[in-house]
Structure 1
Amino acid sequence: MKRIGIIGVGEIGRALTEGLCEGGGEPPQVFLSPRGARTAAELAGRYENVRVCAHNQEVVDRSEVVIIAVRRPDRHEALAGLRVDGGKVVVNVMAGVANDDLRETLGTEAPLVRAIPLPPVRERRSVTVTYPSHPVVDALFEGLGGALPVADEAAFNVLSALTGTLTTHYAYLAALTSWAAGHGIAADDADTYVRGLFQGVGRSLSDETRTLRQLAADHETPNGSNERIRTTWFDAANSEALGKALDDLLADLT
């Protein structure tokens, strides 16, 4: 896999490019669409193997694997008239766009694979969900942190919905920082402490010998501070509300 094209150079397109270019060994040639022109130009300036194409058709023509990373509302405009022959492999990273939908838009017989790459692919540390399993695509994402092929599109959509919780986690940490600042802690000190606190929690996730519930139990003592916040703030009602929000998102993605 020596030639990879990316149509749509937003945050995910940037992260994929950086991950492909900064891994070990000889990087592939990467062809970027002119969408996201500033980002594409910056990446081409950093990496000798990256080129910005004049238009999306050139991206397709020059590539063996074509990654489509445009926003769902923009897909018809971005992909209109695009010709993709059956010898290409197309990776669909558009949230909420099924492969049947994309195949109809492109009018192609090329293999289509859905994927959920996340920003940490730039560091080759993020597991990417794929459907259906395809040897070329799974190998691509194994090199970017790992591939997790799933059995059907329903399972893919469930895991896609989980990605919608990421910024809520950051907002939660920001709320903790604001609370501490409201009680007289310097904002920079609160930010430093909260980041350090949860970076430690993140490292504990690498211990796959313990379930997530076991990790939670191991980090609290009976009647202690952690148990108090967990049971009084993240109670059954909040858990149910989170489940409802995820169900609604899943319905939209489906």
Structure 2
Amino acid sequence: MGMTRIAIIGGGKIGEALIAGLRDGGWPPQDLVVVETGEARAAELKDRYSIMTSDLAIAAEGAQVIVVAVKPNDVPGVIDKVDEAISDSVHEAVVVSLAAGVPTEAIESRLSAGSPVVRVMPNTAMLVGEGTSAICKGRFARGEHIDLVRKMMGSVGATVEVTESQMDAVTALSGSGPAYFFLLAEAMIEAGVEQGIPRKTAETLVLGTAKGAGAMLAAGGDGPTALRAAVTSPGGTTAAALRAFESGGLRATVYGAVSACKERSAALADEVREQMIDELSADQT
């Protein structure tokens, strides 16, 4: 692995998680550079991972992959600086956006014509190396760009390739998905406390159960339906609990939650797209 220089713009939690995954996977430190405006934070990342730090112009100019790991509102300004840095570069650079809700079209509109863009929707589990990242390519990205991004994001978990039209649904399933499991765990802990179990004990039971159930699902083979059936004896305790879930409308609630998340994601993406394109048009007049 190596010889592909990666510039990561943004040294927050997501940026650091990617750096950590790449270093743990053997990516050479000389091929990684981070752009972080906070001097103390930049020094921390440099010391912790033995990587280079630089300003955006220098980092982007020498990189084959430029990862944008900043908040959506900061993307327009960052992309403009990236375009300035790579417009005269002797090699092609692929811009990889980890910013939620920013369509490839909006990024392409602020880059030189033909610039390859790849969009990634990660989730917070990448902080512990167990993320699930959905990847889609822009108009000018090629197969080798996708392969490279999948290798890069594979350092922090699993990857899938989707179309951009599916990204809002992806956000609703995996991007926001960890919060759904956290909410269920929170509710189970509170239910245990209500039944007289000490809170610390309830937390240990629920978090251990979540870890074990997740491992069983991740092991492959039987899917969730078969696994659920295997622990549900007719007329037993689990069956009683599942009846309560079903009578409470669990499935309908999940369907509604995913649909609401997808609709909100689409609305935010439209807002970001219009904002970035409108700002560019204003700059050009």
Query: Using the alignment, how far apart are the partners of 1:66 and 1:109 within structure 2?
Result: 16
Indicate whether 1:56 and 2:56 are aligned. Answer: yes
Paired residues of 2:9 and 2:69 also in contact (CA < 8 A)? yes
Indicate whether 1:251 and 2:263 are aligned. Answer: no
Amino acid at match of 1:181: V
Q: Select which of 10, 13, 31 maps to 1:11.
A: 13
Flag the 1:42–1:184 CA change in 2: closer, same or farther, 3 A: farther
Indicate whether 1:128 and 2:140 are aligned. Answer: no
Indicate whether 1:73 and 2:57 are aligned. Answer: no
Q: Select which of 88, 94, 110 maps to 2:93.
A: 88
Structure with higher helix content = 2
- Equivalent residue runs for 1:27-176 within 5 Å: 27=29, 29-35=31-37, 38-48=40-50, 50-53=51-54, 55-82=55-82, 83=84, 84-85=86-87, 87-107=92-112, 109-121=114-126, 124-132=129-137, 133=143, 134-150=146-162, 152-162=163-173, 163-176=175-188
Unpaired segments ≥5 residues, structure 1: none
- 1:114 positional shift: 0.9
Amino acid at match of 1:189: T
Partner in structure 2 of residue 201 of structure 1? 213
Flag the 1:168–1:191 CA change in 2: closer, same or farther, 3 A: same
Query: Using the alignment, how far apart are the partners of 1:79 and 1:236 within structure 2?
Result: 41
Query: Using the alignment, how far apart are the partners of 1:235 and 1:81 within structure 2?
Result: 47
Structure 1 runs of 4+ aligned residues shifted over 6 Å read none
- 1:124 positional shift: 4.5
Paired residues of 1:221 and 1:227 also in contact (CA < 8 A)? no
TM-score by length of 2: 0.77
Aligned residues: 251
Aligned-residue sequence identity (percent) comes to 24
Structure with more contact order per residue of length (Cα contacts < 8 Å, sep ≥ 6): 2
Paired residues of 2:30 and 2:52 also in contact (CA < 8 A)? no
- 1:103 positional shift: 1.3
Partner in structure 2 of residue 228 of structure 1? 243
Q: Select which of 184, 188, 206 maps to 2:196.
A: 184
SS at match of 2:157: coil
Paired residues of 1:8 and 1:33 also in contact (CA < 8 A)? yes
Query: Using the alignment, how far apart are the partners of 1:138 and 1:216 within structure 2?
Result: 32
Unpaired segments ≥5 residues, structure 2: 138-142, 271-285
Query: Using the alignment, how far apart are the partners of 2:69 and 2:27 within structure 1?
Result: 25
TM-score by length of 1: 0.85
Query: Using the alignment, how far apart are the partners of 2:178 and 2:38 within structure 1?
Result: 23
Flag the 1:87–1:243 CA change in 2: closer, same or farther, 3 A: closer
- 1:237 positional shift: 3.9
Paired residues of 2:168 and 2:262 also in contact (CA < 8 A)? no
- 1:22 positional shift: 1.3
SS at match of 2:218: coil
Residue range with higher mean Cα deviation, 65-74 or 165-174: 165-174
SS at match of 1:109: coil
